[in-house]
Every structure is written in structure tokens, then in C-alpha cells.
Amino acid sequence: MYPNRKRKGLITRTFGCRLFVWNRMLTEKRVYYLLTRDTLKNVIFIFFFYFKC
């Protein structure tokens, strides 16, 4: 079964949003590590509350 135009758009938006959240999370972890030399844990939960896609 192939997705129709509406489903293709939904899939594209979903993956685009997830990629955005992943990149923001990775940036925050890297900046935190550079500033403190410690790892930041559970940052993904923080971003899912702020960025509701």
C-alpha cells in the first residue's frame, strides 16, 4: 500500500519535526558539555514539552 498525497505530507512533516527536535537536543547537549564538561541526561523529555510538533 502506497500513501496518498495527504499521508505523504503528514509523513514529511512528522519526520521533519522529529529531525528538528533531535538536532536541537544534540546542540543543547554539546553546548552543555562544552560549558561544564559533564553530560546532560534526559534532555529529550525537556524538548518534547517545549516543541510540540
3-33 CB burial, b ≥16 within 10 A, e <16: eeeeeeeeeeeeeeeeeebeeebeeeeeeee
Q: What is the pLDDT of residues 4-41, one digit of tens each?
A: 999 999 888 888 888 888 888 888 888 888 999 988 77
The tally of CA atoms less than 13 A away on the side-chain side of residue 53 is 15
- 48 pLDDT above the threshold of 70: no
pLDDT at 7: 92
- How many C-beta neighbours within 10 Å does residue 43 have? 15
| Residue 40 vs residues 2, 48, 50: alpha-carbon distances, Å | 40, 15, 17
pTM for the model stands at 0.61
